[in-house]
Chains A and B, each alone.
Chain A
Amino acid sequence: AQKVTQAQTEISVVEKEDVTLDCVYETRDTTYYLFWYKQPPSGELVFLIRRNSFDEQNEISGRYSWNFQKSTSSFNFTITASQVVDSAVYFCALSGNTNAGKSTFGDGTTLTVKP
C-alpha cells in the first residue's frame, strides 16, 4: 500500500521568509513518481513538479526547490522569499509504476503568507 504523510497541516509565515513543506512517503514499488501540486483559493490543483524514484537530483525552479531523499523517503518543498501569492494548499502525491495513473495524495499543507 502507498501512503503520503504531510505532517504540517497549516503554516503561516511573513512575506520574504523561506518556508519548507515536508512530505514523507511509503511505497513498495521499486519505481515510483512523486509530485507536488498547488491549490489556490480558486480550487484548481496545479501540477508543480514530478520526480522519478531513480533520479535523486534536487531541482530548483525560481523561488521553488525540491529535496528528494530516498534514504529518508522524503520529498520536501522549499519556497524561498515567500510571497502573498504563494498562499495556497500544497499537496504531495505518489504514484507507482504498477498504477501510474492512480496517485495517492497527502492531506495537504495550508500555507498562508502574510504581507
Chain B
Amino acid sequence: ETGVTQTPRHLVMGMTNKKSLKCEQHLGHNAMYWYKQSAKKPLELMFVYNFKEQTENNSVPSRFSPECPNSSHLFLHLHTLQPEDSALYLCASSQGPGQGRTGELFFGEGSRLTVL
C-alpha cells in the first residue's frame, strides 16, 4: 500500500453540494495535514492534527470542516463552496510529537476539486 492515500482523486461539485475528501496514511505517523494548492499560488497550510487533536487552523473558512477520527485517517468536509475554492487539496503526514519529528512530509496524490 502506498504511504498516503487520498480519495477521490477528482471531484466536481456545485456550490450547494456537500462532499468529503478522505485521507489515509499507513506510515505510523501521529501528525496529519491538509494543504491547498491553487494555480499560481504557493502551498497553503490549512489544518494540522497531532494525535487526532487539531493544533492549527490557518484562518480557513468554515465551509471547510476537518475531521480526524484517529491518527491514520483525516477527512475534509466541504459544503457551500465557492468557485475560487477549486484547487488541488493535498493531505500529508509526518512524525508527530514524541516520534523525533524532523518535519519531512509525506503527501498523497491529492484530490483535484472543481466547484461549479
Residues of A within 8 A of B (CB): 33, 35, 37, 42-47, 50, 52, 91, 93, 95, 100-103, 105-108
Which B residue sits closest to A52, measured CB to CB?
B102
Q: How many B residues are at the interface, by size bracket?
A: 20 to 34
B43 to chain A, nearest CB (A): 4
Q: Given the complex, which residues of B lie within 8 Å of A105, measured CB to CB?
A: 42-43
Whether A33 and B105, one on each chain, are in contact in the complex, defined by CB atoms closer than 8 angstroms, is no
Which of A33, A52, A101, A103 sits near B96, CB closer than 8 Å?
A: A101
Q: How far is the CA of A102 from the CA of B43 in the complex (A)?
A: 12
Whether A102 and B42, one on each chain, are in contact in the complex, defined by CB atoms closer than 8 angstroms, is no
Whether A103 and B105, one on each chain, are in contact in the complex, defined by CB atoms closer than 8 angstroms, is yes
Stretch of B14-22, B64-72, B76-84, B106-114 that contacts chain A: B106-114
Q: Given the complex, which residues of B lie within 8 Å of A35, measured CB to CB?
A: 103-105
Whether B50 and A101, one on each chain, are in contact in the complex, defined by CB atoms closer than 8 angstroms, is yes
B74 within 8 A of A: no
Show 12 residue pairs from A and B whose CB-CB distance is below 8 angstroms, ordered by the A residue.
A33-B103, A45-B92, A46-B107, A47-B104, A47-B106, A52-B102, A95-B103, A100-B103, A101-B48, A101-B97, A103-B103, A105-B42
